Structure 1
Amino acid sequence: MMEKQMIHVIGGGLAGTEAAWQIAKAGVPVVLHEMRPLRKSPAHHTEELAELVCSNSFGALSSDRAAGLLHEELRRLGCIIIGTADEHAVPAGGALAVDRGVFSHNLTETLGSHPLIELRRSEVQEIPTEGVVVLTTGPLTSPALTEDLQRFTGMEYFSFFDAASPIVTGESINREIAFFASRYDKGEAAYLNCPMNREQYLHFWQELCAAEKAELKDFEQETAKFFEGCLPIEEMARRGEDTMRYGPLKPVGLFDARKGDFRAPENQSQRPYAVVQLRQEDKAGQLWNMVGFQTNLRWGEQKRVFRLIPGLEEAEFVRMGVMHRNTFLNAPQLLHSTLQFKKRPTLLAAGQLVGTEGYTAAAAGGWLAGTNAARLVLGLEPVTLPTTMMMGALFDFISSASPKHFQPMPPNFGILPELGKRIKNKQERYGMYRDRALGDLDSWSRGLRASAA
């Protein structure tokens, strides 16, 4: 059995926070390295652990949705990220969204007070060569560590460009125009919706296409590659007049109850041509995120163009949209599904660095990498998860996909093994995926506990 040595986790985002917690929970001492505030990143605004830099939403809450299933798997596995998200949730219809400030502050205090966790505020420029190490530096890995990681892997990184949406104050939204509703009335009506007629939409689309973008500064513009799951709104607009209306501005299923039931045949003519949705950022409803409006427009242009949206004419922006580089490993060439490097099994990685997309996937990677790091120190075999689970399927995918065309992958039912029979009804099919996943998780967990007894 290996000596009960200290594990080093590099990066205090969602994955790193989760990894450090799982290591300490296993009774192993851990140092969590976070370079903020000594060295700032292009996207972070605070020095808190697990800061949410893009949206405040973890995705769909229902367990018959891909993100929701991953939430439930993590709840059953004792994930501190999801547990804290549940504790500090804000109304968001069918989504799990949090008061981001309280969420991150709570996690920072919880980890900071754990006797087995040492939080070091310093930049790590090289991968430690000894002991068990977990890399969770995310898409904004510092240049020095990026170079060292490139030397270690002996291969080029892939990189894409990611963007964050603006946030406006609730009191600056015109409530005579914006209306509360969730799509198809699912969940609590927790979204504010700004409807557009055809003339308003076309004017907005034309101005958005013509708006001036910010320079990418440190990045090579000719090599910029947008990740389709987080496409800047101006890039989406340039792809065609109706692209936004089939994306984040789709009017389907959104009805203003103040004007009667749009679903009634006699009211179909009143249906909006496009709808901009705003999601609540904090429990008090003082801050609202422009859903799907990730952008790299100049800040002055953002204010000018986004105030063309009905209901946002007087919008007060508390955070403008920003754009930054994301870096991720070619995981199929480098990692096992245990999140260990093939070249060095005592080095693990998790989060967006390994090519998983989304907050919940980062937490899942942190759980697995932290669990396996602790098991290595304790002299136990690393675990793999059943591929019928969303977690297991996700890590199996990133470790076995085609390296040539590897791109970040969010949780989705398409990566799960097919069911034994064909089910046409999508909701029923997803429900069966969920039941199988959670059943296999419970069986796997019982087996794991029995082996450790």
Structure 2
Amino acid sequence: MTTTYDIHIIGGGLAGSEAAWQLAQAGVRVKLSEMRGSGDMTPAHQTDGLAELVCSNSFRSDDAERNAVGLLHSEMRALNSLIMAMADKHQLPAGSALAVDRDAFSESVTRALADHPNITVVRERVDTLPTDTPAIVATGPLTAPSLADAIGATTGADALAFFDAIAPIVHAESIDMDIAWKQSRWDKAGPAGDGKDYINCPLDRDQYHAFHAALMAGEKAEFREWENVPYFDGCMPIEVMAERGVETLRFGPMKGVGLDDPRTGRWPYACVQLRQDNASATLWNMVGFQTKLKYGEQVRIFRTIPGLENAEFARLGGLHRNTFIRSPVLLDPTLRLKARPNLRFAGQITGCEGYVESSAIGLIAGRFAAAELAGRELPAPPVETALGALLAHITGGAEADSYQPMNVNFGLFPPIEGRTKKADRKLMYTARARTAFSDWHAAAG
């Protein structure tokens, strides 16, 4: 193990882990500080593993032809991403999505970083920002209060905040498979699956409306100290979605289209899907069921879902506050803090949203830092690429006053010129992105 370092990375989540790997692979000596394992813990984490997946176990779509996040997957793989390599190694059946065994994934990332000769992992809470040493702050949306205060004092701007929610996980043996069945929507199979990657629990019209009414009436946890903090749409609690209208859930996480109930041969009126959460298939998470219901209410209400009447929960849902900085104002195009260029920010604290996006920004932050330490300049990836579009949004593509957490999506890309058929547009975005990425990667090295 090294005893000195060239750069300090604060935070061992997805972004910090990826940044450390990219730097170490470039020959840079890295100190990686993670407070979990030192006696400190966040409100959402359950282990001291690096790159722990807190909310879902899904990296979302792996379709690089028609989906922006799938395109980002492919770009990260081309850049030798540790996060993507370990996600691929521990992939679970999930249709066209990339889902992973969360424990095996975190253990593999932790081991890879701990074993790297250029990385020293230190279990410690960092309360202040380095003044002179090059550093990447990747503490994520659950930054310790002391460091959050230091960041606020340094940036001179209040952090924005939003709620993030966690979905429940169910023991497979407690699911009634005489009612539920296994099928991917439209029988679509991914690399690790067979077209039967989800467990489906069907609801008829009366059952759905009774469930909706129970959600509306269920007792919710209160967070008075977080009043007026907005929800992020990608992780909105299911009961908050239910408040938007009786039919909202049927066109969201509870849609039944493309699922053939073997008992009726028809699509159900509504359907709850569960996705495999570990390699042994003993745990399944309720897709889209992030919630702020109190624990007792979760058990009572979710057991009204057909097939889950006797469900045993390995983990119940929860809610926590996430914070992020006003990156378009504070950061330069290479993620450096304008007021303190020795500091870079990466991951969800910059305002990107999602496992993949957080990892991707950690990756490019690490590469920017490695280039700078080597005395050269790394050009930013083109905005026509998924990585470049996401980076541009964070560092200046959004209005500061309305800046909100954002998943990668084709709306961040420059529009396709000329008139195009809607059905062809996604393919045109990805084809253009592959060309731009290939040219940039060849030139950047």
Q: Partner of 2:414 in structure 1?
A: 417
8 Å Cα contact 2:202/2:261 also seen in 1: no
Equivalent residue for 2:364, pick from 362, 368, 372 = 368
Counterpart amino acid of residue 43 in structure 2: P
SS in 1 for 2:227: helix
Cα 1:176/1:440, change in 2 over 3 Å: same
SS in 2 for 1:97: strand
Counterpart amino acid of residue 238 in structure 1: E
Q: Partner of 1:266 in structure 2?
A: none
Q: How does 1:100-115 map to 2 (within 5 A)?
A: 100-115=102-117
Query: What is the distance in 1 between the residues matched to 2:139 and 2:260?
Result: 42
SS in 2 for 1:33: strand
SS in 1 for 2:340: coil
What does the per-residue CA deviation read over 1:375-401, in whole Å, with 9 as the maximum and x for residues that have no partner? 221111243110000110011012221
1:194 aligns with 2:201: yes
Q: Partner of 1:26 in structure 2?
A: 26
Counterpart amino acid of residue 379 in structure 1: G
Q: Partner of 2:45 in structure 1?
A: 44
Once the 2 structures are TM-superposed, how far is the Cα of residue 344 of structure 1 from its aligned partner?
Answer: 2.1
Once the 2 structures are TM-superposed, how far is the Cα of residue 257 of structure 1 from its aligned partner?
Answer: 4.1
8 Å Cα contact 1:15/1:363 also seen in 2: yes
8 Å Cα contact 2:337/2:343 also seen in 1: yes
Once the 2 structures are TM-superposed, how far is the Cα of residue 164 of structure 1 from its aligned partner?
Answer: 0.4
1:154 aligns with 2:150: no
Could you state the TM-score of these two structures normalised by the residue count of structure 2? 0.95
8 Å Cα contact 1:133/1:348 also seen in 2: yes
Query: What is the distance in 2 between the residues matched to 1:186 and 1:276?
Result: 17
Counterpart amino acid of residue 146 in structure 1: A
Equivalent residue for 1:210, pick from 200, 204, 217 = 217
Q: How does 1:433-452 map to 2 (within 5 A)?
A: 433-449=429-445
Consecutive unaligned residues of structure 1, counting only runs of 5 or more, are 263-270
Q: How does 1:11-410 map to 2 (within 5 A)?
A: 11-37=11-37, 38-64=39-65, 65-187=67-189, 188-216=195-223, 220-257=225-262, 259-260=264-265, 262=266, 271-400=267-396, 401-410=398-407
What does the per-residue CA deviation read over 1:85-143, in whole Å, with 9 as the maximum and x for residues that have no partner? 00110000110000000000011011001111000000000001012110100010000
Q: Identity, % of aligned pairs?
A: 50
8 Å Cα contact 1:179/1:192 also seen in 2: yes
Consecutive unaligned residues of structure 2, counting only runs of 5 or more, are 190-194
Counterpart amino acid of residue 231 in structure 1: M
8 Å Cα contact 1:181/1:256 also seen in 2: no
SS in 1 for 2:121: strand
Equivalent residue pairs, number: 434
Query: What is the distance in 2 between the residues matched to 1:147 and 1:221?
Result: 17
Query: What is the distance in 2 between the residues matched to 1:5 and 1:319?
Result: 39
Across the aligned residues of Structure 1 and Structure 2, the Cα RMSD in angstroms comes to: 1.3
8 Å Cα contact 2:15/2:346 also seen in 1: yes
8 Å Cα contact 2:92/2:279 also seen in 1: yes
Query: What is the distance in 1 between the residues matched to 2:109 and 2:259?
Result: 36
Counterpart amino acid of residue 47 in structure 1: D
Once the 2 structures are TM-superposed, how far is the Cα of residue 222 of structure 1 from its aligned partner?
Answer: 2.1
Once the 2 structures are TM-superposed, how far is the Cα of residue 226 of structure 1 from its aligned partner?
Answer: 0.9
Once the 2 structures are TM-superposed, how far is the Cα of residue 5 of structure 1 from its aligned partner?
Answer: 5.7
8 Å Cα contact 2:378/2:444 also seen in 1: no
Once the 2 structures are TM-superposed, how far is the Cα of residue 158 of structure 1 from its aligned partner?
Answer: 0.4
Counterpart amino acid of residue 299 in structure 2: K
Say which is worse superposed, 176-185 or 87-96, in terms of deviation.
176-185
8 Å Cα contact 1:91/1:283 also seen in 2: no
8 Å Cα contact 1:5/1:377 also seen in 2: no
Counterpart amino acid of residue 346 in structure 2: A
What does the per-residue CA deviation read over 1:264-299, in whole Å, with 9 as the maximum and x for residues that have no partner? xxxxxxx31111110111122111000000011111
